[in-house]
């Protein structure tokens, strides 16, 4: 029996992908948004491909605002983009 692979939907391209291939975006209990490459940070999570194009789509569609029911402070997307470039090796 093959193991069931947990799938999550990327907020950018809306494709279902294995959870471990996606980056978790987490909103901490304090309301801070950051990327969670290890999937261990506390808080509410959303998923995104490790692809700046998906980040752009999310930015445009405001999918993160909807996922977290919160305003994204100025600069959050730039910070996420920077984190994505730095931490992109998985
Ligand atoms: Zn995507």
Q: For the chain, 90 residues long, give each residue's pLDDT as a single digit of tens.
A: 778 899 999 999 999 999 989 999 999 999 888 888 888 899 999 999 999 999 999 999 999 999 999 888 878 899 888 888 887 554
- Residue 34's DSSP bridge partners are 26
Output the pLDDT for position 59: 93
Cβ(37)–Cβ(81) under 8 Å? no
**Separation of 19 CA from ligand 1 center, angstroms?**
12
Which residues are near ligand 1, the ion (C-beta closer than 5 Å)? Answer: 10, 12-13, 49, 54
Output the pLDDT for position 62: 93
- Find tokens 């093959």 and name the residue: 2
Structure tokens at 50: 């490790």
Helix and strand numbers, DSSP H then E, in the chain? 3, 5
> pTM to 2 decimals?
0.82
């Amino acid at each position: 029996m093959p193991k069931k692979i947990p799938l999550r939907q990327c907020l950018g391209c809306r494709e279902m992908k294995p959870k471990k291939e996606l980056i978790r975006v987490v909103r901490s209990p304090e309301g801070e948004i950051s990327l969670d490459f290890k999937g261990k940070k506390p808080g509410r999570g959303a998923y995104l491909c490790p692809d700046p194009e998906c980040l752009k789509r999310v930015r445009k569609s405001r999918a993160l605002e909807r996922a977290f029911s919160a305003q994204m402070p100025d600069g959050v997307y730039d910070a996420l983009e920077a984190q994505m470039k730095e931490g992109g090796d998985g």
